Chain A
Amino acid sequence: MSKNILLYSAILIFGLIAPFVFPAFKVQLSILCVLIILATTWNIQGGEMGYNTFGNILFYGLGMYLCASVQVGMFFPLAEWTESGGEKTFVHTPAQFFQGMAVGLVVAAVVPTIVAGLIGYAILGLRGHYFAICTLGLGVAAGEISGGIEIIGAGQGFTTPPFPEVGGLEARGEFFYFLSFGALILTFVAVRAIYSTRFRLILNAIRDNEDKAEAMGIETMKYKIIGWMVSAFFCGLAGGIMGGLVGYIDSTDVAFDGREMGVFMVLMAILGGKGTLWGPVIGATVFHIFKEGFWTFFLGWQYVALGVLIVVIVIYFPEGIMGWLREKYPEKFGEVIDEEDRKAQVELK
């Protein structure tokens, strides 16, 4: 237990001093926080519940658009804002900016949660690959439809309000870093708390055998919807932060980017190890470092590399880093191995 506290406080301290120690990497670290949130929340479905979704991007994009729209719409007419595009016809005062951001983030988290509840009731009755393809369809449909709506910029995109001129040059990066780091801590604490209750066992029961879980008297539908709503809450929050961080929202390239973010979150969770608390965190970190470190070497071949990476990870490394560690050092995971049993298994092999 004391080891855990040491680990958590080390991470916390690192997170708090990181923007001052590595000022050049503030944006990268903020994106890493968002990626970890996305991977962790995907893991609630894909890892714990066994419902592999491509649709969490829906909540991410929704949160992004909602946060920016609220932030603008609270003080200025939204249609004229998007009409003017990049030209700054309206300027937020610092107070307006932060108020708008706060309200926007709340809306960005709450509305996707409600949407997840409604959609979840309709589609969580699907299983396996039907669910996967259905959510894939939802994500793409959301991108296509939002690309046709005029008031949020349609095809030409939506510029989020620029950061007001307060503090020094570094203020913008620090603000968004601490925002995303705070969201990450919130997510991690919430998910960890959830995983320590009976709820996780129920989700695992649904993953292992849904019919039997139902026969045991678990209202599987209720728990599946709650699980999805938890995911949607944090995905929406992450989306809202990311929208402000990027500064520009496009329907298919930034918000509902199923080809990038939508696949990344699945890939990160699988790379780290599905169905573990730390797996997605490790997976997202490794993936982000790999992506940022090597992307520039590929120069335009990133997507080719991404495609190859997906195929290789899925085929040769489906257990992920945590799964591999667990196989290698089962004692560290609290699994007691009977020596005779192990010998017998080795002989069998």
Chain B
Amino acid sequence: MDFMVFQYPMITVQACLDGLLLGILFALIAYGMALQWGVMNIINIAQGDLVILGGYIAYFMYLYGIHPAWGVIVSPIIMYFIGVGIYKLVINKVVDRDLFISILATFGISILFMQLMNFAFGADVVLANSGYGTTMLFDNNVTLPNSKIFSAVISIVFAIGLVIYMKKSKLGRAIRATAQNSRAAKILGVDTEKVYAATFGINAALCGVAGALISITFTIHPYMGLPYTIRSFMIVIVAGLGNLPGVAMSGMGLGVFEEFADYILGTEFRIGAVFLLLVLILVYRRFKLSRKREYLK
């Protein structure tokens, strides 16, 4: 336990800023999770591994001399097709079934991806250097890498773009109709199979964007996927499905929590703190609901 973070205001400011910028990225991943959960009623444990895969695409561009920031454009395009491929192979067989089946099936996909990435890219922790430099604030007491600001801005742009797309485009309307009532949508001529494939593809593309940004700002490693899944699940259950401002807020809240946990408990307990927070949130909500004799649905 180390409470230095509260004694020096500059460290507090640093942790808050880091956390907020990190949280925007989490919110982007969680938005994809909420989308597929709401539309297809599946929980994708492989979400985090899709993020890491997207990160490796950007990292590879960096290795071949292309600036990794272009990964923000290339990675989602590749990831979209990977997502559609996963849907056609596995997910379309679990959509209408018990939720646990989808959890277990995507858990299998997650293990598969983890190991394939381990073979393809090696077990080293890597990052793509963007060369954006850092900004110093408050008499050089707070350092802020420009890449983090860049990633936050790009995440916001993508999130807003997606919201507009869902509101205005034909596919967006079809996706929303399917989410509300898939049978009625089917009757009205929506090809729900295509909508599901597109939804999963869009989710994978969002993961691709987030992954590319994570490879620029933080580090990626084949086995780091599961914490991202848990984070996005946590953000979604705190915010609720289809509540975009809520997703953004709770994402940033989680980011700040993590930074403080990092300072107070030490880096080795950071992931543990995230997972424990999930348990605590679920337990809190369960006791709150059980007073009304209800349960989380």
Residues of A near any B CB (own CB < 8 A): 52, 122-123, 125-130, 132-134, 136-138, 140-141, 144-145, 147-148, 154-155, 259, 263, 266, 270, 300-301, 303-304, 306-311, 314-315, 318
Q: Does B163 contact A (CB under 8 A)?
A: no
**How many B residues are at the interface, by size bracket?**
35 or more
Q: Is the CB of A126 within 8 A of B233?
A: no
Instruction: Point out which of A141, A148, A318 has the most chain B C-beta atoms below 10 A from its C-beta.
Output: A141
B271 cross-chain contacts in A, Cβ below 8 A? 140, 144
Q: Is residue B173 contacting chain A, with contact meaning CB distance below 8 A?
A: no
Q: Which residues of B contact A263 (CB under 8 A)?
A: 107, 111
Contact A140 B105 (CB under 8 A): no
Q: Is the CB of A134 within 8 A of B109?
A: no
User: Chain B contacts of A301 at CB under 8 A?
Assistant: 115, 119
9 tightest Cβ-Cβ pairs between the two chains A and B = A307-B112, A310-B108, A144-B272, A141-B275, A303-B115, A148-B268, A307-B111, A311-B108, A137-B275
Known A141-B275, A315-B90; judge A134-B108 contact (CB<8 A).
no
Partner of A141, one of B100, B233, B276: B276
Which of B108, B109, B283, B286 neighbours the largest number of chain A CB atoms within 10 Å of its CB? B108
Contact A130 B111 (CB under 8 A): no
Q: Which residues of B contact A304 (CB under 8 A)?
A: 112, 115-116, 119
- Least CB distance from B196 to A in Å reads 16
- Interface residue from B90, B276, B290, B297 paired with A311 (Cβ < 8 Å): B90
**CB-based contact B279/A141 at 8 Å:** yes
Q: How far is the CB of A42 from chain B (nearest CB, A)?
A: 12
* 10 A-B residue pairs with CB within 8 Å: A52-B100, A126-B296, A128-B99, A133-B282, A137-B276, A141-B275, A144-B268, A148-B266, A155-B268, A310-B108
Is there contact, CB below 8 Å, between B105 and A137? no
Of A137, A300, A308, which is within 8 A of B108 by CB? Answer: A308
B101 interface contact, C-beta 8 A: yes
Q: Which residue of A lies closest to B268 (CB)?
A: A148
B194 within 8 A of A: no
CA distance A259 to B237 in the complex (A): 24
Chain B 216-247, CB-CB to A under 8 Å as 1, else 0, gives: 00000000001000100100010000000000
CA distance A129 to B90 in the complex (A): 19
B275/A125 in contact, CB under 8 A:
no
Q: How far is the CB of A218 from chain B (nearest CB, A)?
A: 15
B214 CB-CB contact with A under 8 Å: no
In the complex, given contacts A133-B233, A144-B268, what are 7 additional A-B residue pairs having Cβ atoms less than 8 angstroms apart? A123-B282, A127-B296, A129-B43, A141-B272, A148-B268, A263-B107, A307-B109
- B107 and A129 contact, CB distance less than 8 A: no
Q: How far is the CB of B297 from chain A (nearest CB, A)?
A: 8
A134 contacts B287, C-beta separation under 8 Å? no
A154 to B268, CA, bound (A): 10
Find A123's partner among B100, B276, B283 (CB 8 Å cutoff).
B283
What sequence of 0s and 1s flags, for each residue 251-287 of chain B, a beta carbon within 8 Å of any chain A beta carbon?
Answer: 0000000000000001011011001101100110011
Which A residue sits closest to B234, measured CB to CB? A137
Contact A303 to B282, CB < 8 A, known contacts A130-B296, A148-B268: no
Say whether B82 faces chain A, with CB atoms less than 8 Å apart.
Answer: no
Q: Chain A contacts of B103 at CB under 8 A?
A: 52, 129, 132-133
- In the bound complex, CA of A154 to CA of B93 (Å): 42
Bound-complex Cα distance A154 to B269 (A) = 11
- Cβ-based interface call for B137 (8 A): no
Choose from B104, B116, B279 the contact partner of A310 (Cβ within 8 Å): B104
A306 to B269 alpha-carbon distance, docked (Å): 29
Give the docked Cα–Cα distance between A132 and B282 (Å): 11
Bound together, the chains give a CA A123 to CA B107 distance in angstroms of 22
- Contact flag A137-B230 (CB < 8 Å), given A130-B237, A307-B108, A314-B105: yes
A303–B290 alpha-carbon span in the complex (Å) = 40
Q: Nearest chain-B residue to A303 (Cβ)?
A: B115
Q: How far apart sit A309 and B105, CA to CA, in the bound complex (Å)?
A: 10
Residues 62-111 (chain B) with a chain A CB within 8 angstroms: 90, 93-94, 97, 99-101, 103-105, 107-111
Task: Give the docked Cα–Cα distance between A74 and B99 (Å).
Answer: 46
| A152 smallest CB distance to B (angstroms) | 14
B296 neighbours in A (Cβ, 8 Å):
126-127, 130
The CA of A303 and the CA of B119, in the complex, are separated in Å by 11
A46 closest partner in B (C-beta): B100
Q: How far is the CB of A313 from chain B (nearest CB, A)?
A: 8
Whether B269 contacts A145 by the Cβ 8 Å rule is yes
Contact partners of A155 in chain B: CB under 8 A? 268
A133 and B43 in contact, given A125-B295, A144-B272 (Cβ under 8 angstroms): yes
Q: For A148, what are the chain B residues with a Cβ–Cβ distance below 8 Å?
A: 266, 268-269, 272
Interfacial chain B residues near A310, Cβ < 8 Å: 104-105, 107-108, 111
In the bound complex, CA of A136 to CA of B97 (Å) = 20
Return the chain B residue nearest A135 by Cβ: B279
CA distance A123 to B104 in the complex (A): 20
Any chain A CB within 8 A of the CB of B248?
A: no
Q: Give the contacting residue for A138; candidates B97, B111, B269, B279; CB below 8 A.
A: B279
Interface residue B114 (Cβ < 8 Å from any Cβ of A): yes
A344: min CB distance to chain B, Å:
26
Bound-state CA distance A137–B278 (Å) is: 7
Chain B residue at minimum C-beta to C-beta distance from A140: B275
| A114 to B112 alpha-carbon distance, docked (Å) | 36
CB-based nearest B residue for A311: B108
**Interface hub of B111, B230, B287, B297 (most chain A Cβ within 10 A):** B111
Cβ contact within 8 Å between B100 and A311: no
A133 to B268, CA, bound (A): 22
Chain A nearest CB, measured from B37 CB (Å) = 10
